[in-house]
Each structure stands twice: as C-alpha cells, then as structure tokens.
C-alpha cells in the first residue's frame, strides 16, 4: 500500500561532510534557519516534512558522530547536544526526528567491520536511520514480542512497533527483535524492504512533524551483515552511549523553552512600553533556561569522559546516566511551563491570524510525555539514596545488554 512519504525517503545525491565541531554548530544554525521558515505551516497542515528532512541530510549533521577514522567528525556528546539545542529552538517537532538516528550510528561501533563500513558510507552520504523499537504495554526495552530468527545467510523478523519516530521518511529503519535465546538484536532494515510497512498514523495534538507512527514488520528478511548484537560492547561505553542518546530529549525540551522565550521576547519588543512584570517574568525564564542548558551540557561532559576513555568505568557511566535524568527532571517541567506562560504576554495579531504560538506549548507538552517527569525524579532519588539505576540502564551496567 502506498502512503504519503513512501517515495520520499531516498538519500540526497550529495551531503556535506563536516570535519569539526565548529562546522557542525554552523551547519546547525543554517538548518535551523530553514526549519524556522516552515515550522508553523508543517504543524498547521500536518504536512510530511520531506524537504526539511532532505535539508537535514544535505547539511552533513547526520554523520557528525561517525568516528574520524571512518571519515566523520567524531563529534563529542557535548557538541551533539549543542546541535540539538540549536535545532529544537527552531522546531522541536523536526528536531526529534533524528534523535534515534545517532543511537544507531553509535551501535555500529560494535558491528562487524563489513557492516560498519557499509553503513558509515551511507550515513556520510546523507542516509538517516529511523527507529522501530517500542511496543505497547511493555514495561522495558527488553520485554518485546518482535521476533528475529536465523534463516539462511540472514534473519527473518516479525512484529509490530509504535512511536516509530522518523521511520516514515528514513532510508533505513533499525528494529529491535528478540531471538530464541532472549538476546535483543538490532536489524537495520531498508525502508523499501518488502514486508516493512510504516504507517502515517501519528495523530498527536503536538509534535505533528515527527510522524511517530506505527511500523509493521511482516515476515521481513534481512542479510546477516545488517544485524548487530550490541551486547558485545563494553558495559561502560554502552551505558554512556545510552545516556547520551537519552540526553537528546532533555536538550529538545530545553531548546523548546528557549524557543518559547524568544517568541515572548519578540512579542514584548513590539510594545512601546513593556510592563515591568513582563520583563521580570522574561528574566526569570532566561535564568531557568540557562540552568537547564547547564545541566544538559554537564551530563554530556560526563558521558564524554567515559566515551573518550578518561574515566572508562561503569560507575562513571552510571553518574552520567543519572546526570541525564537530572537534566530531564528540570527540562521536562520547565519547557511546558514557559511555553504556557506565553499566554500572559500580549500576543499581537498579524494579518488577522495568530503566529502559531500555540504549537510551542503543544509540541513541548507532547514531547515531555515521552518520559514522565515523576519517573525521572524518582530515578534520581533512588540512585542518590540507594545507588539504583532504572531497569534498562541497570541491565546494561550489569552485562552490556540493552
């Protein structure tokens, strides 16, 4: 069955190759300027953001975490967070689309050389990984029903996923499947693979451009070189990578707050004499956003210390993971609150229409439900009191599994 986006996921013919952190930051600003122009339209029309995601591919940002020895920039977690802080301030909905992409670029570090080389080349050319991980009613990432079984010189997969952010328009869709021994394997499935059906059924009141819909995996076969057993990796590295991937969510929420603050400032700038109370409120928000940003970058540096080999221990990786939940605990409460407060400023009407300010709150509120803040705060408290990690992180720390 053809659906919107079915023929819109080919990688662009050329993608810029970014070599430094400075180039990555500059590219993020350029892409954010493009995204900002259509953010209101995408939200209002529920349009699939094909051209905007093609611009992401051409920018070269999708390959910045590819190691230098394989042609990428080898960007740090901190640089990656800076990129997301820029992009999500322009549009949190589009910024969430590549979130899982970077997780699956990380996964390739433990892949067989032929697999690693195959996919790094495609990422450097502009290809993007979507995701098909989550399943309804499952208490953890490891408790899944999707199966992956050896067949010939490859594997056969069957299952159903939801919250498949970015899969609709991606070139590759990594899928978690459980084998007969209980291992969770990652199969990188080409978007056009027969039996893989990505539905455009995302119907949330916010984050409309992410298209986090349903993926059906019906008797899909993939060659062995497209399957990776991530559990082969070092536990400390795996946990630090997991922390970095989850930290992107905190960066998106923090940037959503910054985008709302910028909108509030634009509104106030159009009034000849802003109220003192409004200026005070603006200042309060600016300080709180700075605090949230500091927590995001602090957690990123902790993850980088493990990944760079400076403190390559599970204990250090655990601290990085908890620092990620600390950043989430602030950002996930702060961003919806600030976006909601825009209503207190006098919003002008332009050409008879509002400026789409409602999407700012709808987007960050929808995204914040990805990780209920009360869970994050509980996990932080449980770690500081009892030394416990959340279930998925603890599984990684104890055996390198995920």
- pLDDT at residue 136 above 70? yes
N-term to C-term CA, the chain: 33
Asked whether residue 81 is domain-assigned, the answer is yes
Asked whether residue 71 is domain-assigned, the answer is yes
For residues 97 and 94, give the distance between their C-alpha atoms in angstroms, rounded to a whole number.
5
Is there a contact between 102 and 245 (Cβ–Cβ < 8 Å)?
yes
The structural domain count of the chain equals 3
For residues 186 and 390, give the distance between their C-alpha atoms in angstroms, rounded to a whole number.
22
- Are residues 202 and 277 located together in one domain of the fold? no
pLDDT (average), residues 89-97: 97
- Are residues 286 and 318 located together in one domain of the fold? yes
- Are residues 72 and 120 located together in one domain of the fold? yes
pLDDT (average), residues 54-76: 97
- Listed in order, strand segments (DSSP E) in 202-351 are 213-223, 227-228
Asked whether residue 276 is domain-assigned, the answer is yes
* Angle separating helix axes 21-45 and 358-368, nearest 10 degrees: 110
For residues 119 and 142, give the distance between their C-alpha atoms in angstroms, rounded to a whole number.
25
Query: What is residue 137's predicted lDDT score, i.e. its pLDDT?
Result: 78
Asked whether residue 117 is domain-assigned, the answer is yes
The per-residue pLDDT for range 256-295, each reduced to its tens digit, is: 999 999 988 888 887 778 888 888 989 999 999 999 999 9
- Are residues 210 and 357 located together in one domain of the fold? no
Domain coverage including residue 181 = 147-231
Taking the CB of residue 381, how many other CB atoms lie within 10 A of it? 13
- Are residues 271 and 292 located together in one domain of the fold? yes
- pLDDT at residue 9 above 90? no
Confidence at 10, pLDDT banded by 50, 70, 90: low
Confidence at 8, pLDDT banded by 50, 70, 90: low
| CATH code at position 394 | 1.20.140.10
Asked whether residue 4 is domain-assigned, the answer is no
- Are residues 336 and 376 located together in one domain of the fold? yes
- Are residues 284 and 367 located together in one domain of the fold? yes
| CATH code at position 42 | 1.10.540.10
Residue finishing a domain among 124, 158, 178: 124
- Phi and psi at 335, nearest 5°, equal -65, -50
Asked whether residue 16 is domain-assigned, the answer is no
- Are residues 202 and 242 located together in one domain of the fold? no
- CA-to-CA dists, residue 368 to 96, 129, 211, 253, 363, angstroms: 12, 23, 16, 7, 9
Asked whether residue 141 is domain-assigned, the answer is no
How would you classify the pairing of strands 184-190 and 154-164?
A: unpaired
- Are residues 250 and 361 located together in one domain of the fold? yes
Asked whether residue 36 is domain-assigned, the answer is yes
Residue finishing a domain among 231, 258, 293: 231
For residues 83 and 92, give the distance between their C-alpha atoms in angstroms, rounded to a whole number.
12
Is there a contact between 32 and 238 (Cβ–Cβ < 8 Å)?
no
Residue finishing a domain among 231, 251, 276: 231
- Are residues 250 and 217 located together in one domain of the fold? no
pLDDT (average), residues 76-94: 98
| CATH code at position 157 | 2.40.110.10
- Are residues 118 and 164 located together in one domain of the fold? no
The answer to which of 56-60, 134-138, 172-176 has the lowest mean pLDDT is: 134-138
For residues 42 and 77, give the distance between their C-alpha atoms in angstroms, rounded to a whole number.
29
Question: What's the half-sphere exposure (Cβ side, CA atoms, 13 Å) at 144?
Answer: 28
- Are residues 120 and 209 located together in one domain of the fold? no
pTM of the entire predicted model:
0.94
């Amino acid at each position: 069955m053809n659906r919107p986006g079915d023929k819109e996921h080919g990688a662009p013919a050329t993608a810029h190759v970014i070599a430094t952190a400075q180039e990555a930051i500059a590219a993020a600003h350029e892409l954010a300027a493009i995204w900002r122009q259509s953010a209101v339209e995408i939200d209002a029309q529920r349009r699939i953001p094909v051209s905007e995601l093609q611009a992401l591919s051409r920018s070269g940002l999708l390959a910045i975490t590819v190691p230098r020895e394989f042609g990428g920039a080898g960007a740090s977690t901190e640089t990656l967070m800076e990129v997301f802080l820029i992009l999500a301030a322009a549009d949190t909905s589009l910024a969430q689309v590549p979130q899982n992409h970077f997780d699956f670029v990380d996964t390739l570090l433990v892949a067989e050389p032929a697999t690693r080389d195959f996919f790094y080349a495609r990422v450097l050319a502009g290809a993007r990984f979507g995701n098909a991980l989550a399943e309804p009613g499952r208490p953890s990432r490891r408790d899944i029903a999707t199966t992956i079984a050896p067949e010939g010189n490859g594997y056969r997969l069957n299952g159903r996923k939801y919250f498949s952010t970015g899969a609709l328009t991606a070139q590759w869709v990594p899928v978690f499947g459980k084998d007969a021994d209980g291992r969770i394997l990652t199969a990188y499935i080409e978007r056009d693979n027969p039996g893989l059906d990505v539905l455009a059924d995302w119907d949330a009141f916010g984050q409309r451009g992410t298209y986090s819909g349903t993926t059906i995996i019906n008797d899909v076969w993939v060659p062995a070189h497209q399957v990776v057993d991530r559990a082969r990796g070092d536990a400390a590295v795996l946990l630090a990578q997991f922390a970095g991937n989850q930290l992107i969510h905190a960066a998106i929420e923090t940037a959503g707050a910054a985008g709302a603050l910028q909108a509030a400032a634009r509104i106030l700038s159009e009034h000849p004499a802003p109220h003192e109370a409004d200026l005070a409120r603006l200042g309060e928000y600016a300080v709180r956003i700075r605090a949230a940003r500091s927590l995001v970058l602090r957690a990123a540096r902790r993850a980088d210390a493990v990944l760079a080999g400076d403190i390559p221990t599970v204990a250090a990786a655990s601290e990085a993971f908890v620092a990620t939940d600390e950043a989430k605990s602030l950002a996930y409460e702060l961003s919806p609150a600030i976006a909601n407060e825009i209503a207190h400023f006098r919003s002008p009407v332009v050409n008879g229409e509002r400026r789409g300010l409602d999407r700012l709150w709808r987007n960050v509120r929808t995204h914040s439900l990805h990780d209920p803040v009360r869970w994050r705060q509980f996990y932080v408290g449980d770690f500081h009191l009892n030394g416990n990690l959340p279930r998925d992180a603890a599984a990684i720390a104890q055996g390198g599994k995920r």
